[in-house]
Structure 1
Amino acid sequence: MKLLMVFDFDHTVVDDNSDIWVLNCLPDQTLPASIKASYRDGHWTEYMGRVMAYIGDQGISPDRIRGVMETIPFTPGMTDLLTFIAESKSAVDCIVVSDSNTLFIDWVLKGAGLRAAVDRVFSNPASINEAGHLELRHHHSHNCHKCPVNMCKRKVLEGYLSERAEAGVEYGRVFYVGDGGNDLCPSLCLRGQDAVMPRKGFTLEKLLARLKAQKADSSAAAKVVVWSSGTEILQQLKQCLQA
């Protein structure tokens, strides 16, 4: 059976937040106070829609945005990890589940020559409108009270696993790699043979440790493997494939 790698994107595949990195397009790398003040908790995608409209109104082209996004740094070891995955497609499937957007992720991966590593990208759909501005939409709707209104990563992961099962593909193990609070929900649907891999020092690691300390019924069944670089994840992946 194949192995499935699931990656968050910001502060996981790349070593920054792509939605903040895009501000490097602006001459002074900052937004007007009115836009900053418009953010509402849990509604980041709508906020980013206003950010992208402002960037477009400054005459900044999609090509310029793409060029800036291609300069975002990858997390140490991630390019080697993704290169290995791209070379191991007979044994490893790989998806990205991210609250960024589809264009940013595609631009970054293609710019680094790593798009072939990723079979599917699940993120907020982005497109270029008739005015040449980047527009964002919610990935989906859901009823999960734990997650932002635009995306429940657990719903995404469970949907993908169901789709693949219907196609006759069962995964012997799933590795879920992430860093943030919205990566907790999907990690709780993993099985005992799977691994949730939180980035060391980031929110997901702290949330998982808190659940374990509380001996909560909702704590992850999967093995928790903390990582600091893609090199450590690559070692785990190779060990699993050799077992």
Structure 2
Amino acid sequence: MAGIVVVFDFDKTLIDCDSDNWVVDELGATDLFNQLLPTMPWNSLMDRMMKELHAQGKTIEDVVEILKRTPIHPRIVPAIKAAHALGCELRVVSDANLFFIETILNHLGLRDYFSEINTNPGFVDEEGKLRIFPYHDFHSSPHGCSNCPLNMCKGLVIERIQAEPVEGKRKFIYLGDGKGDYCPSLKLGDGDYVMPRKNYPLWDLICENRLFVKAEIHEWIDGKDLEEILLGLINKISIEENAQFISPDCKLQTIAVSAHEAMPQALRVQQ
């Protein structure tokens, strides 16, 4: 059976907010952020904000405690665990930063479910302040994609994943919400799936340009929707793949399985 790669955006997809705004707002630095926003790229601004907050006496421990309170729909964690248990490879492709993402995933007990996190580098320096750098160095090696912000082209990340040497054909399911998720959606092909969050920028862009998206489109509204649709698609792909190995002399009876029924029994008991 072909492998299934599920690629998640992070902000407003896995979590129910923008992690950058969440930290800035919770640390009381919204006014300064808004003042500096017109003067520099978002990614560079976040690095500047971490310097300013450190100078004001905010510690990395303060940041961690705020990240632990990040809002997330209660069905997201079970959805990730179920998709992993069903044999999918899970990855993150996000314009947040590594420190924020790993802190939140570790707090939720989910870090080991993801084989890879593609995002802007973020680390604590020797002075104890968080530094955030662009995924693509837009000064020395710009990515040249007009659809994406200067610091990260998610489409290039998807192309790199698609080009990895693997046995058999993989099918991709991509989940996202923002403008930056449009470019990777265009990289998906027939047999792949894109799950845009309804009434968010990615959904709007896809609605305006449906003919450009080759993947099958399945919109979602909240974490409950995400869980049901994602597990339903995984089940659908599995049934289709298994059907290819059944002799033409055999009669295949396809049984519709709900997203909840698609979960392994152990996970359903845990819920």
Same fold (TM over 0.5): yes
What residue number does 1:70 align with?
A: 68
Indicate if the aligned counterparts of 1:180 and 1:204 stay in contact, CA closer than 8 A: yes
Q: Any residues of structure 2 matched to 1:7-26 within 5 Å, and which? A: 7-26=8-27
Question: Which one has a bigger Cα radius of gyration?
Answer: 2
What residue number does 2:97 align with?
A: 101
Identity %: 30
TM-score, scaled to structure 2: 0.80
Report the CA distance shift for 1:235/1:41 in structure 2 as closer, same or farther (over 3 A). farther
Unaligned runs of 5+ in 2: 137-141, 241-271
Greater shift in the superposed pair: 168-177 or 6-15: 168-177
CA RMSD of superposed structures (Å): 1.8
Unaligned runs of 5+ in 1: none
What residue number does 1:221 align with?
A: 214
Which SS does the other structure have where 1:5 is aligned?
strand
2:198 equivalent to 1:197: no
What residue number does 1:135 align with?
A: 131
| Cα distance between partner residues in 1 of 2:4 and 2:217 | 17
After superposition, what is the alpha-carbon deviation per residue over 1:110-160, rounded to whole angstroms, capped at 9, x for unaligned? 100011221100000001112111001110241112211110000011112
Report the CA distance shift for 1:171/1:69 in structure 2 as closer, same or farther (over 3 A). farther
Q: Deviation at 1:32? A: 4.2
Greater shift in the superposed pair: 2-11 or 77-86: 77-86
| Cα distance between partner residues in 1 of 2:169 and 2:75 | 25
Q: Deviation at 1:239? A: 2.9
Which SS does the other structure have where 2:30 is aligned?
coil
What residue number does 1:183 align with?
A: 181
1:84 aligned to 77, 82, 85, which one? 82
Amino acid in the other structure paired with 1:50:
R
2:260 equivalent to 1:240: no
Amino acid in the other structure paired with 2:4:
L
Which SS does the other structure have where 1:38 is aligned?
helix
TM-score, scaled to structure 1: 0.88
| Cα distance between partner residues in 2 of 1:41 and 1:221 | 37
After superposition, what is the alpha-carbon deviation per residue over 1:85-117, rounded to whole angstroms, capped at 9, x for unaligned? 3323xx311110000000100010110001122
Q: Deviation at 1:225? A: 0.7
